[in-house]
Amino acid sequence: MSGAAATDDGFNPRLIAGVVAIGIVAFTALWALIALGPQISSGNDGGGHALSKAAPGYAGIVDLVERAGAEVELRRRVERTRYEEYEPLLILTPTHRTRAPEVAELLDAQSGTAALIVLPKWQTMAIPGQTQKPGWVSAGFPARPPAKMLPPAHFGTVGVAAVPSKAQAVPARLAGRNFTAWLPGNVQTVTGDNLETLIAGPSGGAVLAQVGDRDLYILADPDLINNFAFASRDKAVGGAMLIDAIAEYADADGYAFDVTLNGFGGGRSLLRFAFIPPFIGITLCLIAAGLLALWQASVRFGPALKPSRAIPVSKAALIANSADLIRQARRELDGADVFVKSQRSAIARRLHAPGGLDDDATDRWIDKHLRGGSDLFSALARRLPLARNTHEFLADAQALHDIRKDLLRDS
Q: What is the pLDDT of residue 304?
A: 64
Within a domain: 2? no
The strand pairing partners of 257, in sequence order, are 74, 91
Cis-peptide into 146, omega within 30 deg:
no
Q: Which domain holds residue 286?
A: 275-300
**Residue 296 and residue 176 share a domain:** no
**Residue 260 and residue 280 share a domain:** no
CA 330 to the chain's CA centroid:
67
**Residue 255 and residue 153 share a domain:** yes
**Residue 225 and residue 76 share a domain:** yes
**Residue 249 and residue 343 share a domain:** no
**Residue 336 and residue 249 share a domain:** no
* Residues 6 or more apart in contact with residue 362 via CB below 8 angstroms: 344, 348, 353
**Residue 167 and residue 281 share a domain:** no
Contact between 229 and 121 under an 8 Å Cβ cutoff? The reply is: no
pLDDT tens column, 265-304: 655 555 565 666 776 777 788 888 887 887 777 666 666 6
Within a domain: 212? yes
**Residue 332 and residue 235 share a domain:** no
Amino acid at the residue 394: L
**Residue 281 and residue 249 share a domain:** no
Sign of CA dihedral 68, 74, 78, 79: negative
**Residue 48 and residue 184 share a domain:** yes
Q: What is the pLDDT of residue 11?
A: 63
3-state SS, the chain, equals: CCCCCCCCCCCCHHHHHHHHHHHHHHHHHHHHHHHHHHHHCCCCCCCCCCCCCCCCCCHHHHHHHHHCCCCEEEECCCCCCCECCECCEEEECCCCCCCHHHHHHHHHHCCCCCEEEECCCEEEECCCCCCCCCCCCCEEEECCCCHHHCCHHHHCCEEEEECCCCCEEEEEEECCEEEEEEECCCCEEEEECCEEEEEECECECEEEEEECCCCEEEECCHHHCCHHHHHCHHHHHHHHHHHHHHHHHCCCCCEEEECHHHCCCCCCCHHHHCCCCCCHHHHHHHHHHHHHHHHHHHHCCCCCCCCCCCCCCCHHHHHHHHHHHHHHCCCCHHHHHHHHHHHHHHHHHHCCCCCCCCHHHHHHHHHCCCCCCCCCHHHHHHHHHHCCCHHHHHHHHHHHHHHHHHHHCCC
Within a domain: 370? yes
CA distances from 81 to 86, 109, 110 (A): 11, 8, 8
CA distances from 357 to 272, 361, 362, 366, 404 (A): 95, 6, 6, 11, 19
**Residue 177 and residue 160 share a domain:** yes
Within a domain: 396? yes
Within a domain: 223? yes
Q: What is the CATH number of the domain that holds 35?
A: 3.40.50
**Residue 181 and residue 284 share a domain:** no
Q: Which of 94, 198, 199, 197 is nearest to 151 (CA)?
A: 94
Within a domain: 357? yes
Task: Using 70 as the pLDDT threshold, list the residues of the chain that sit under it.
Answer: 1-11, 32-43, 80-83, 126-135, 137-138, 265-276, 279, 298-304, 311-312, 373, 410-411
CA distances from 231 to 134, 182, 208, 266 (A): 18, 12, 21, 33
Q: What are phi and psi of 379, to 5 degrees?
A: -65, -40
* Residues 6 or more apart in contact with residue 136 via CB below 8 angstroms: 46, 53, 54, 55, 126
Within a domain: 162? yes
Into how many domains does the chain fold? Answer: 3
pTM (two decimals): 0.58
Within a domain: 309? no
Q: What is the pLDDT of residue 5?
A: 45
